[in-house]
Structure 1
């Protein structure tokens, strides 16, 4: 199937999830993330969920990092819809967050962090395939962002759904995941993941 067909199918599937399913599956995703060995002082880019789209609740993971890895540096993004780019800011106490037109909660301002500083990136998506290729919302924000990260930056997708067999229309700009975390399990697509 192509991305457009997959996108529509999985947006409907995710929208149909009950509040009980969402809570249970978010708990399961967090438990899998807790089993990984996060660096004590690395830079971890975390997306904030679009609640009206039923995206996975990454706030739970942020709270876990703050409690268990207090020296880890959590990084959040702000989107620029005019050129489909992203700016990245260190999450600090007192940081001001504001919802944008798409329902994404973003930092208003703060200490800028370069893409080259990031060690790990948690990536929102609808579903991935068996090779780690992603289907998101189709705007290309994350492909542009990930292309600027270091080659050793670990790309971790978060999805409620296990991988499908194949996405047919992958192109040269698509950057695959190293790992996918779902409620059922962790999938590894790269043998060089340090976690």
Structure 2
């Protein structure tokens, strides 16, 4: 299936989820993530803040967990059409931007490129780690700048049941996908 068709299909599937389903599925994804990836103090994790109107996975539970274990947390922010990484803390101040997305008030790019993990938003990923996002290309550009050792992890409500037919040469695949029912590794290695 083409990315445009998959984007439309999975936006529709996500739109039909109830608040209770989002809560339950997000918790199942979080549990699978924590069980699979063993975290330690001092790690650096880049993770998105969910866009509630798009019914994204509730990553606040991840962020709270990481911060409570002295894991450094970085979130994306778009500044001048570029995705930067802002480090956040328990007392970080947030604002709602023009797109109604909560983001840190700071525009200071951390400069960190050697993350242990980048937890990536997406609409769909197939069994080869190819992903469909919102079509803006922010994460492909971001992936080109970070350490090659960084694990790129997608989180999704839906299992990868169909292939993406129009993968582009510059698309950067995920290393892992975490769903409510499984964790898939695309590199052939486990954590």
TM-score w.r.t. the length of structure 1 is 0.91
Structure 1 position 93, deviation (Å):
3.5
User: 1:76 deviation in Å?
Assistant: 1.1
Q: Deviations over 1:33-88 (max 9, x none)?
A: 22120232111001000001100000001111122x22x110012113x53x2111
Aligned partners of 2:100 and 2:61: how far apart in 1?
18
Query: What is the aligned partner in structure 1 of residue 11 from structure 2?
Result: 11
Q: Which residue of the partner structure matches residue 41 of structure 1?
A: 42
* Deviation at residue 114 of structure 1 after TM alignment: 2.1
Note the residue ranges of structure 1 that are not aligned, 5 or more in a row. Answer: none
Q: Which residue of 2 aligns with 1:59?
A: 60
Listed as ranges, the gaps of 5+ residues in structure 2 are none
Taking the aligned partners of 2:168 and 2:143, their CA distance within structure 1 comes to: 15
1:172 is aligned to 169
Length-normalised TM-score, structure 2: 0.93
In structure 2, distance between residues paired with 1:21 and 1:121: 24
Runs of 4 or more above 3 Å deviation: none
- Measured in 2, the distance between the counterparts of 1:47 and 1:105 equals 10
Give the aligned partner of residue 21 of structure 1.
Answer: 21
Superposition CA RMSD, Å:
1.5
CA drift at 1:29: 0.8
Give 3-state SS (helix, strand or coil) of 1:156's partner.
strand
What pairs up with 1:146-161 in 2 under 5 angstroms? 146-161=143-158
1:105-144 equivalences under 5 Å are: 105-109=102-106, 112-144=109-141
Match in the other structure for 1:99: 96
**Corresponding residue number in structure 1 for 2:77:** 78
The size of the alignment, in residue pairs, is 190
